[in-house]
Each structure stands twice: as structure tokens, then as C-alpha cells.
Amino acid sequence: MTPLERRYALLGLALIAPTVLILTAVIVYPLLSAIYLSFFSIYTPTLAGKAVGLENYRTILSSAYFWHALWTTFVWTAGTLVLQIGFGVGMALLLNQNILFRSLARSLVLFPYFISTVVAVLVWRWLFNDLYGILNHLLIAAGVIDMPVDWLGSMPNAMVSVITVGAWKFFPFVVIAVLARLQTIPEHLYEAARIDGAGTFSRFTDVTLPQLRDVLSIVILLRIIWDFKEFDLIYLLTGGGPMDNTRTLPLIVYQQAFGLNQMGMAAAYAVAMMVVMLVFMLAYLAYSRDRSTP
């Protein structure tokens, strides 16, 4: 290495050092310390405890509680994801048309995404309330039901409600991403397809969808990650009930750490969650590698 090259190398190190340090402080350190904690049995208020090795993991993997929560998390994630993508793509297609008040509609659609989850959940709980909720009131008035329905306190209603509110809250993200992509599809492609004899449906499947493929796979991956670890919306809406039927893994992590004061156990749950997410990540990486080497 010549002196000049060495100086460049040192400069490079100096320039990336701050980033590496910050990443280490905010990502690597918490990650490692969570894994470390998961080998202990720790009482949260005092943070005192003893090493138990893999005992926490053994407990988790052999408990029906964990597997049920994992299943619940999958149901919630899959359900809300399907609705988010369906509504999101549909709304993006609609907003991409020359409809009346288009820019107003575009701003309004973003509303659920921007209001605070707490506020949104309070409003929805009021709508869902079985005694004075407007939803039951309207449905009874319309003659659809004749008894008030318990939307949040019974199954499968509670899961359906959580999934619906989740879809409502997060579909604007899909709209933004898909709409941005839709606007870059050249109009000429649609015109060429029309001349080639493609109808409305063919134009959607043959021109629009292929162009949306990349953005949709990114959006779906991000939404899976975010929905999988969603906490506040579910916690505030049902608290995990009824009977743990909407208690997803993040809610258990919280419950273990601060309800049962089992910090070590909570860490083990968190690490288990991370492993599941890792599977998604690897699947995605494999998929994107396949695409880039035709």
C-alpha cells in the first residue's frame, strides 16, 4: 500500500466510523443484549436474576400459549395484509383515474395513516361499542341484526374487528406507494394494448400488474414486518382478549416484561419473534436474487 492509498483508506474509515458507531449503539447493542437477557430469569423491577441457559426457550417452545400466539399473529398479519393490499391497490387505481376532486380525495385517503393510533382506536372503540356504538345502532335500524353484536368481546368478531381496523389504518401506505408507481406507467403502453385488442381487464393484468410487481413485493414485505410486530393498535383495541384470542407475540412480550415482570422470558419471546421474521427476510432475499439473475 502506498502512503497515498493508506491515507485514503484511513479517510474512508474516519468517514464511515460515525455511522458504524451509531448503528452499533442503536441496533447491534440492543439486539445482543436482548439475546443475552433471554438466557436469564430476571425480575423486571430490580433487573436482578440468575442465568438459566436455554430454559426460557424450552418453556416457550413447549407451551401451547406460544404456539397459539404465533398462530394468532399469522392470522392477524395475513388477514390485515390481504385487506390492505386489496383496498390499497383498488384505491390507488381509482385515484389514478380522472375522477372529480382527485387531489382532495388523494389527501383524504391519507388521513387514517396520519392520525395517531390512540385517537383512531378510541374512535373505533366508540363505533364498535355494544351498548351505545353507532355501528350496532345503524345495523339494527337497517334491520340487518336484531340484537346488538359484541364486536370486540367475542370471537371471531374481535379478530375480524382488529383486522379491519388495521387495514383501515394502514392501507394508505399501500395507496401512496402503488399510486406513485402507477403514475410512472407510460400512457403509450395502454394505448398500444388497446390497439392490440386488449380489453380493460387485459390491460390491467398485462400492463398494470407487471409494472406493479416490484413495488408490490417491497410493500408486502414491509407491511408483513410492520404488521407482524404491530402492538399499540391491537393492545388498545382489545388488550389481547377475549381469552387471549387476539394476543399476538408483541403483546405477549409486553405482558411478560411488564405484566408478569419476567424480563428474561420477554426477551426470549422477542428473539423467537425475530427468528420468525428472519425466515421472511431470507425468503424475500432469495426471491429478489432470483429476479435479478434471469
Partner 1 sequence: MVNVIFNKVQKAFGSVVAIPDLNLEIGSGEFVSLLGPSGCGKTTTLRMLAGLEQPTGGEIRIGERAVNNVAPGERDIAMVFQSYALYPHMTVGQNIAYPLKKRGVPKSEHPARIKAVADLLQLGPLLERRPKQLSGGQQQRVALGRALVRDPKVFLLDEPLSNLDAKLRAHMRTELIELHRRLGKTMVYVTHDQLEAMTMSTRIAVMHQGHLQQFATPSEIYNRPANTFVASFIGTPSMTLVEAEIEMAEGAAFLLVGGQRFPLPPSLVMADSRHRRPITLGVRPEDISIASGEAARASVKLVEPTGHESIVTLDLGGAHFVMRAAGDVALRLGEAVPIALRIDRLHFFDRESGQRINTDAERPAEFRSIAR
∠ Cα 175 176 182 (to 5°) = 80
Which residue type occupies 31? L
Cβ distance to partner 1 smaller for residue 164 or 211: 211
Nearest approach in angstroms of CB 288 to partner 1 is 16
Binding region for partner 1 (CB under 8 A): 186, 188-189, 191-199, 202, 206-207, 210-211, 213
- Please, which residue, 30 or 210, has the CB nearer to partner 1? 210
Shortest Å, Cβ 98 to partner 1: 13
Q: Residue 52 in contact with residue 37, Cβ under 8 Å?
A: no
Q: How far is the CB of 222 from partner 1 (least distance, A)?
A: 22
**Residue 97 beta carbon to partner 1: minimum distance, rounded to whole angstroms:** 17
Please, what is the minimum distance in Å from the beta carbon of residue 29 to partner 1?
43
What are the residues whose beta carbons fall under 8 Å from the beta carbon of 17, sequence distance 6 or more? none
Can you list the alpha helix ranges (DSSP code H) found in the chain?
Answer: 3-23, 29-37, 55-61, 64-95, 102-114, 117-128, 134-141, 157-182, 187-195, 200-203, 209-228, 232-237, 249-254, 263-292
Give 266's contacts (C-beta < 8 A, 6+ positions apart): 253, 254, 256, 257
Nearer to partner 1, 2 or 293 (CB): 293
- Closer by beta carbon to partner 1, 132 or else 201: 201
Cβ-based nearer residue to partner 1, 7 or 291: 291
Copy the grid coordinates of residue 198: 386488449
